[in-house]
Structures are given as structure tokens and as C-alpha cells.
């Protein structure tokens, strides 16, 4: 059955002058940018949950989107039959859009059963089908993850739950999902701390909960090696929502956690744009922090809303925001096992199936344009030259001695005899103009 009948062929690149809303204007998969094909730089992934497992339901009302494969609308009452239809729709979409990757939660692709064993069997059956679809289409799995937050059993978290029974259940679920990801050749495995946080300290033993979280992560790492999964394990930071406070607050908090528990060589981060801004950071800041810490893994590409303080998961629209992000990614050496996963959802009134295409085309063009701008900034070298010049003193005699062996007392006696340090301009506005110029000139 064909689900996306308004799009009969694969979306093509037509160039910036094109007026075709169903064509790429910037994303040209085979174009080589800074020594790498665009497709290999950007490593786009479509996410299963927002695009295929969500019908537009929000806390005020029922689903609105035209999603014939969704259990709410599917002609069949059999959840497994509906899951199979959903998978057909998803792979038809991946193929027509021309993305190399997709991502899923176990519960997105396979319905939960009565008991754990039944849920596991559902997943195994769907994994077999997914393997076939992957082989047929060439679409690969960027990452898998376990949904440890939707079911009521996880009301007080999974690994951080006050009840070890829930920890044990979640551990079993992750073991199964990690193995499924491995079987599908997934390149990463993600752990977003769904409800790993708290609502009130009045009933929460924070120290114990964070220790439990670390124990859980160590088990995941041990299991990864046990089964021979060579992909990266990634934690996805988020400051709050659904809980009032999430332990994996931001990249810096996750890095401190990983170091404290000896996991910094084993786990990296999946940075989501909207989570960065909710934490009070720029997207680029979170990437730079991760690159500096040696834990940069992957990106959930989306956008927040300047006036809304929750995870609205819009498709990326700001070339400037993404250029600054891509600049840090390129400075860090680019994506390796990671990719750009559209953890983005349509607005609830964008009800047509074709809206999924418009949204992804826009997001991919935004990121492609950002890549072009960022690589042209790096290529011309003007920004880096100015940045380097700003620190020139640190290569001089004083700078090197400070970093080597100068003591506070040495610097005290020096201060007694030297004058006021010379102040220079930071030229911020000039640098912002320079970024704007590179964006304007992307071709």
C-alpha cells in the first residue's frame, strides 16, 4: 500500500532558485563540501516517534493528523498489524525523502504487550521486518532507544525509581532494545533520561537516585561490550520536562556525572537544540562544551520557540543558529557515528501527510545551508585568525611561563613593577557581520 501518494518520486535537489515546494534548494547529497559529500557530513535521520507514532494528540485534545497507519485510525484493531502498516509508511517516507538514517524507541515500532516477554516478542518480530525494510531500501539505523517514560510503571523514573523492581524492569528493557539495535546495525544507542529526575525534594533522596543512575549506565556499558555492540552509547541531556528537574541537565552536568562515576570514556552525548535552549544555553555552546570534553556524539536537530518555555520540537528554521552550531561541529572534526536526527514535530494543524515532506525538506535545507556557511567561514579562516590573534600573548614569554611554572608570588612581584594591561576590542559586532556575510554568500 502506498501512503504518500502526492509524492511519487524521490525528492530531488533543484537549486536555490527552484520554486518547487517538494524539492531541495540547498541539500545536494552528492555535492562535496570540505572534502566530504553533503550526505556524509549531515547524516540525516528521520525520527519514528514524532513523524509516525504521533497523531497530533496534545494535553487539550485528540489527534488531528491524517495518519491512517496510526492505531487510533488504522482499519485494523490488531496492534501488530497496525505496527506493520506504520513501518511500511515510515520506510516509504524515508526512501522518498532520501535520508540515509532513521531512529526509534522500542515502543514506536512495536506495541507493548501484557507482560514483558510479550513486549519483547513484539519487538523481535518488528525487528525482523525492519531488517528487511533496511535491506530493501538501504536506509540504516542511526540509533535505537528504549521508551522508559510512557508507561505508568515509570511514573517515578526508571533507573532512579525508589523501587528496585522498576529498575530491574527497565534494565531488562534496555538489554533487549540494545540487542535489537545491535541486530539492526545501529550506529549508536541513546539514553534520554525520560523521568530520571524529581518533582519534589520532599520525597526524593537525590544522592541515592544519582548513584542508581550511574549503576544503570555502568550496566548498559558492560552489556554493550558483552554483546559486541561497537556503536556509541549516548546520553541526551535535558534540564526539565517531564520532571521538574532532570539529572542529565545539560552537557556540563552529564560530563561531571560521567567523570565522577568513571564513565567518561564510554559514554558521549546526543545534544538536542531545544534542550540546549531550555537549559539556558545556545545550541553552539552545548556542542563546544561536548567537543572540549571529548564527549560529542550526535545531534537531535529541532528548534524551540523564543516565547515558549517547553520542548516544542519545531523543525529547524534558523540558518544563523544552525550555522553557529555547524561551526562548532566542524571545528570538532565533524560527525562520526552520530548524525542529525529530526527530533522535530509538525504543528498540530499541519494535518496532511505531505506536510511531513515540507517539514523535513525545510529542516534539511536549513542544515545544508548552515553547513555551507560554516565551512566557508572555516575555509576563509578570517574568524579563526582573529580568534587566534586574541590569544597571541599566551604564546609569548609571560603566557608560557604562567602555564608552565610561574607562582602566584612570581606574578605578585611582577605586578609591582609593571603598568596597566593594554585593552583591545573584542569586535563582536564585526564578527557577527562576518558570519552574516558568509550566510548571504552561500551558493
Could you give the residue numbers annotated as active site? 105, 108
Picking from 366, 301, 372, the residue whose alpha carbon sits closest to that of residue 32 is 372
Long-range contacts of 28-35 (CB under 8 A, 24+ apart): 28/368, 29/98, 33/371, 33/372, 33/375, 34/330, 34/375, 34/378, 34/379
Q: Point out the residue whose Cβ comes nearest to ligand XLS.
A: 192
Q: Does 196 bind ligand XLS (CB under 6 A)?
A: no
- Over the window 88 to 107, marking each residue x when it contacts ligand XLS by CB under 6 A and - when it does not, the resulting string is -----------------x--
Residues from 230 through 249 that contact ligand XLS (CB under 6 A): 236, 238
Contact 380, 431 (CB under 8 A): no
Quote the CA–CA distance of 22 and 33 in Å, as a whole number.
23
Q: Does 272 bind Ni ion (CB under 5 A)?
A: yes
Min separation Cβ 91 and Ni ion, Å = 21
| Residue 242, preceding peptide bond in cis (omega within 30° of 0) | yes
Residues from 310 through 349 that contact ligand XLS (CB under 6 A): 311, 343
Position among 28, 106, 196, 300 found at the interface with ligand XLS (CB under 6 A):
300
Q: Chain-centre distance of CA 392, in angstroms?
A: 36
Choose the one of ligand XLS, Ni ion, none that binds residue 119, judging by a C-beta under 5 to 8 angstroms depending on kind.
Answer: none
Min separation Cβ 41 and ligand XLS, Å = 21
Nearer to Ni ion, 272 or 365 (CB): 272
Residues from 132 through 191 that contact ligand XLS (CB under 6 A): 145, 190
Picking from 136, 123, 238, 134, the residue whose alpha carbon sits closest to that of residue 190 is 238
Choose the one of Ni ion, ligand XLS, none that binds residue 145, judging by a C-beta under 5 to 8 angstroms depending on kind.
Answer: ligand XLS
Min separation Cβ 303 and ligand XLS, Å = 13
Min separation Cβ 49 and ligand XLS, Å = 6
Window contacting Ni ion (CB under 5 A); options: 50-58, 176-184, 266-274, 387-395: 266-274
Q: Does 248 bind Ni ion (CB under 5 A)?
A: no
Q: Does 343 bind Ni ion (CB under 5 A)?
A: yes
- Hey, how many other C-beta atoms are within 10 angstroms of the C-beta on 351? 15
Nearer to ligand XLS, 343 or 365 (CB): 343
**Could you give the count of Cα atoms lying within 13 Å of 378 in the half-sphere of its Cβ?**
21
The answer for residues whose C-beta is within 8 angstroms of residue 8's C-beta and 6 or more apart is none
H-helix segments, 344-427: 355-380, 382-390, 397-404, 408-417
Residues in the chain: 443
Q: Does 286 bind ligand XLS (CB under 6 A)?
A: no
Nearer to Ni ion, 26 or 193 (CB): 193
Q: Does 250 bind Ni ion (CB under 5 A)?
A: no
Window contacting Ni ion (CB under 5 A); options: 124-132, 294-302, 349-357, 405-413: 294-302
Position among 55, 179, 209, 300 found at the interface with Ni ion (CB under 5 A):
300
Contact 33, 372 (CB under 8 A): yes
Q: How far apart are the first and last CA of the chain?
A: 39
- Hey, how many other C-beta atoms are within 10 angstroms of the C-beta on 46? 25
Q: Does 196 bind Ni ion (CB under 5 A)?
A: no
Quote the CA–CA distance of 438 and 382 in Å, as a whole number.
11
Summarize as ranges the residues that interact with Ni ion (CB under 5 A): 272, 300, 311, 343
Summarize as ranges the residues that interact with ligand XLS (CB under 6 A): 105, 145, 190, 192, 236, 238, 272, 300, 311, 343
Amino acid at each position: 500500500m502506498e501512503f504518500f501518494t502526492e509524492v511519487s518520486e524521490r525528492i530531488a535537489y533543484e537549486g536555490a532558485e527552484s520554486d518547487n515546494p517538494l524539492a531541495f534548494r540547498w541539500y545536494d547529497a552528492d555535492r562535496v563540501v570540505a572534502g566530504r559529500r553533503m550526505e556524509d557530513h549531515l547524516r540525516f535521520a528521520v525520527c519514528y516517534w514524532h513523524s509516525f507514532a504521533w497523531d497530533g494528540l496534545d494535553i487539550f485534545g485528540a489527534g488531528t493528523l491524517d495518519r491512517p497507519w496510526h492505531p487510533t485510525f488504522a482499519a485494523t484493531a490488531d496492534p501488530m498489524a497496525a505496527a506493520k502498516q506504520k513501518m511500511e509508511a515510515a520506510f516509504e517516507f524515508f526512501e522518498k525523502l532520501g535520508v540515509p538514517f532513521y531512529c526509534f524507541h522500542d515502543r514506536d515500532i512495536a506495541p507493548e504487550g501484557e507482560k514483558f516477554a510479550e513486549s519483547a516478542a513484539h519487538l523481535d518480530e518488528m525487528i525482523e521486518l525492519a531488517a528487511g525494510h533496511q535491506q530493501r531500501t538501504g536506509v540504516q539505523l542511526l540509533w535505537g532507544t528504549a521508551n522508559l517514560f510512557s508507561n505508568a510503571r515509570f511514573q517515578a523514573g526508571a533507573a532512579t525509581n525508589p523501587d528496585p523492581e522498576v529498575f530491574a524492569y527497565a534494565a531488562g528493557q534496555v538489554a533487549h532494545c540494545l540487542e535489537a539495535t545491535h541486530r539492526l546495525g545501529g550506529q549508536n544507542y541513546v539514553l534520554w533520561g525520560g523521568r530520571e529526575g524529581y518533582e519534589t525534594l520532599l520525597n526524593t533522596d537525590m544522592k541515592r537516585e544519582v548513584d542508581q543512575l550511574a549503576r544503570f549506565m555502568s550496566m548498559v556499558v558492560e552489556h554493550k561490550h558483552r554483546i559486541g555492540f561497537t556503536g556509541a552509547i549516548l546520553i541526551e541531556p535535558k534540564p526539565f520536562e517531564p520532571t521538574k528537574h532532570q539529572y542529565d541537565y545539560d552537557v556540563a552536568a552529564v560530563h561531571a556525572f560521567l567523570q565522577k562515576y568513571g564513565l567518561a570514556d564510554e559514554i558521549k552525548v546526543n545534544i538536542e537544540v531545544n534542550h540546549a535552549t531550555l537549559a539556558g544555553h545556545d545550541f553552539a555552546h552545548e556542542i563546544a562544551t561536548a567537543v572540549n570534553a571529548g564527549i560529542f556524539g550526535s545531534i537531535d536537530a529541532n528548534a524551540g520557540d523564543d516565547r515558549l518555555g517547553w520542548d516544542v520540537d519545531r523543525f529547524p528554521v534558523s540558518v544563523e543558529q544552525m550555522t553557529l552550531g555547524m561551526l562548532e561541529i566542524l571545528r570538532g572534526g565533524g560527525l562520526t557515528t552520530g548524525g542529525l536526527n529530526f527530533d522535530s514535530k509538525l504543528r498540530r494543524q499541519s494535518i496532511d501527510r505531505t506536510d511531513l515532506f515540507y517539514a523535513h525538506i525545510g529542516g534539511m535545507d536549513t542544515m545544508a545551508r548552515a553547513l555551507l556557511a560554516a565551512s566557508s567561514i572555516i575555509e576563509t579562516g578570517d574568524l579563526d585568525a582573529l580568534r587566534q590573534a586574541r590569544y597571541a600573548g599566551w604564546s609569548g614569554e609571560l603566557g608560557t611561563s604562567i602555564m608552565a611554572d610561574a607562582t602566584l608570588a612570581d606574578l605578585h612581584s611582577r605586578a609591582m613593577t609593571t603598568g596597566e594591561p593594554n585593552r583591545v576590542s573584542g569586535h563582536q559586532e564585526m564578527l557577527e557581520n562576518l558570519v552574516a556575510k558568509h550566510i548571504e554568500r552561500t551558493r
